[in-house]
């Protein structure tokens, strides 16, 4: 009999499941409390469950989503990468970014990625499969269990989250739910490369979430060279749909912009980025490329990064610069997937 992982279920779903097995529904709530509030996944440590219930459940459920985990801290301890082997032997990565008073988890939504952005190592790895709900939820649980209590979650790890819509948003519901990790929606961000059908579904479902849009280049022709998704999801149309989405709610929209020397860093490129940000009332997050031998681009100099910021300021566009962290452990933005290449 294959075991059920309750981390793929909502509490009402799990209550219905245990009831079907002849177990009282409050047991489901007890297990959820142990898992989500105390980060305990060993049934034997759930001391308020009777021995007979524990024995019965051991034949029916598993709370283990991962076969193995390797934890790699960066030298300056600003980031910790977790290399995770899934139960089918495939590998994913997630990264904890440590701040003074809180931890942000950069979560993977797919094993590999089919989108193939030319500046991203995950794109080089290619697509293996979508992650299950429990495999997404378990990344947060893993960080909590390793002593990094997670307060913020960003779907900026491996994969395009909107291509795994159902599983990603069910996981978000569990991360957000009072019976789950109970993180505020304000602390959860989904990053997309601009998958139109996914954004339209957000609108239809009235799913209001902080969204980050990876621009690459605001000019369609130049964008298509580094982000093939442009061919079927033109940025002009993406911008219109994002504007519709912004009108529906008041959540933040961020434009992520990875700077690639000689590709998207000219004054004209930055002006077009600024115009897009003004149209969408969005802020811009500048990310200098994390270089890698498998990526055919180079970053801009740190002084030029300041020039780009000033150009955007002149257009009165709010800008932040995301500093590269965990680069030596390939935990920086766009570098997840290294373990697939070795
Ligand atoms: S940047 Fe995101 S969408 Fe693009 S290939 Fe990498 S993981 Fe996929």
CA of 120 to the centre of ligand 1 (A): 6
170-202 per-position pLDDT tens digit: 999 999 999 999 999 999 999 999 999 999 999
The full DSSP string for 245-265 is HHHH----EEEEEEE-TTTS-
**Whether the CB of 159 sits within 6 Å of ligand 1:** yes
pLDDT at 339 over 70: no
β-strand pairing of 127-130 with 150-155: unpaired
Tokens for 241? 């749909």
Tokens for 228? 């093939």
CB-based burial label for 316 (10 Å; 0-12, 13-18, 19+): exposed
**Whether the CB of 125 sits within 6 Å of ligand 1:** no
CA of 50 to the centre of ligand 1 (A): 46
Percentage of the chain exceeding pLDDT 90 = 87
Q: Whose CA is nearest to atom 7 of ligand 1?
A: 159
HSE toward the beta carbon, residue 247, CA cutoff 13 A: 8
Question: Chain-centre distance of CA 195, in angstroms?
Answer: 15
Q: What is the mean pLDDT of residues 244-256?
A: 91
CA of 160 to the centre of ligand 1 (A): 6
For CA atoms 150, 153, 156, 157, the dihedral sign is: positive
263-276 per-position pLDDT tens digit: 999 999 999 999 99
H or E segment to which residue 174 belongs? helix 165-176
Q: What is the mean pLDDT of residues 127-135?
A: 97
Which residues are annotated as catalytic? 93, 333
**Exposure pattern of 80-89 as b/e (b: 16+ CB <10 Å)?**
bbbbbebeee
Q: What is the mean pLDDT of residues 249-260?
A: 92
Q: Which of 235, 299, 291, 232 minimizes the C-alpha distance to 261?
A: 299
Please report the pLDDT score of residue 206 as a whole number.
Answer: 95
Whole-angstrom distance, CA of residue 185 vs CA of residue 210? 8
Query: Between 118 and 123, where is the model more confident?
Result: 118
Phi, psi dihedrals of residue 25, rounded to the nearest 5°: -60, -25
**Whether the CB of 173 sits within 6 Å of ligand 1:** no
**Whether the CB of 193 sits within 6 Å of ligand 1:** yes
Q: Which of 329, 332, 324, 337 minimizes the C-alpha distance to 123?
A: 337
Whole-angstrom distance, CA of residue 339 vs CA of residue 110? 15
From the alpha carbon of 110, which atom of ligand 1 is closest?
Answer: 7
CA of 116 to the centre of ligand 1 (A): 6
**Whether the CB of 161 sits within 6 Å of ligand 1:** no
With the most atoms of ligand 1 within 8 angstroms of its CB, the residue from 111, 119, 214, 223 to mutate is 214
Residue 332 pLDDT class (50, 70, 90 cuts): low
Q: Whose CA is nearest to atom 4 of ligand 1?
A: 117
CA of 115 to the centre of ligand 1 (A): 6
Question: Chain-centre distance of CA 212, in angstroms?
Answer: 11
Please provide the average confidence, as pLDDT, over all residues in the chain: 94
Q: Which domains does the chain have, with CATH numbers?
A: 6-58 (1.10.150.530), 66-341 (3.20.20.70)
For CA atoms 339, 257, 320, 262, the dihedral sign is: positive
Residue with tokens 């280049």: 217
303-330 per-position pLDDT tens digit: 999 999 999 999 999 999 987 666 665 6
- Cβ-defined contacts of 67-70 (< 8 Å, 24+): 69/142
**Whether the CB of 122 sits within 6 Å of ligand 1:** yes
């Amino acid at each position: 009999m294959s075991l059920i992982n309750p981390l793929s279920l909502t509490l009402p779903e799990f209550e219905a499941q245990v009831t079907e097995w002849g177990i009282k529904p409050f047991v489901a709530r007890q297990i959820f409390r142990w898992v989500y509030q105390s980060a305990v996944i060993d049934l034997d440590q759930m001391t308020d469950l009777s021995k007979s219930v524990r024995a019965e459940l051991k034949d029916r459920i598993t709370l283990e989503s991962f076969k193995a985990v390797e934890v790699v801290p960066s030298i300056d301890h600003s980031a910790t990468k977790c290399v995770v082997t899934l139960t089918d032997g495939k590998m994913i990565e997630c990264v904890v970014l440590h701040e003074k008073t809180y931890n942000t988890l950069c979560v993977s939504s797919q094993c590999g990625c089919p989108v193939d952005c030319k500046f991203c190592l995950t794109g080089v790895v290619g697509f293996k499969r979508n992650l299950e709900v429990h495999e997404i939820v378990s990344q947060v649980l893993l960080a909590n269990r390793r002593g990094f209590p997670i307060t913020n979650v960003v779907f900026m790890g491996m994969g395009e989250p909107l291509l795994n819509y159902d599983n990603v948003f069910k996981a978000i519901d569990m991360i957000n739910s009072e019976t789950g990790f109970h993180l505020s929606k304000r602390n959860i961000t989904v990053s997309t490369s601009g998958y139109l059908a996914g954004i339209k579904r957000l609108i239809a479902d009235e799913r209001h979430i902080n969204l980050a849009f990876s621009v690459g280049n605001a000019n369609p022709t130049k964008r298509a060279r580094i982000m093939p998704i442009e061919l079927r999801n033109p940025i002009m149309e993406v911008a219109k749909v994002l504007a519709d989405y912004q009108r529906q709610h008041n959540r933040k929209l961020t434009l992520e912009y990875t700077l690639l020397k000689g590709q998207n860093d000219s004054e004209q490129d930055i002006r077009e980025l600024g115009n897009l940000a003004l149209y969408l009332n969005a802020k811009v997050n500048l990310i200098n490329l994390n270089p890698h031998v498998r990526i055919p681009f180079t970053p801009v100099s740190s002084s030029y990064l300041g020039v780009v910021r000033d150009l955007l300021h002149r257009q009165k566009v709010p800008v932040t610069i995301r500093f590269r962290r965990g680069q030596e452990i390939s935990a920086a933005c766009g570098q997840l997937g290294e373990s697939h290449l070795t």
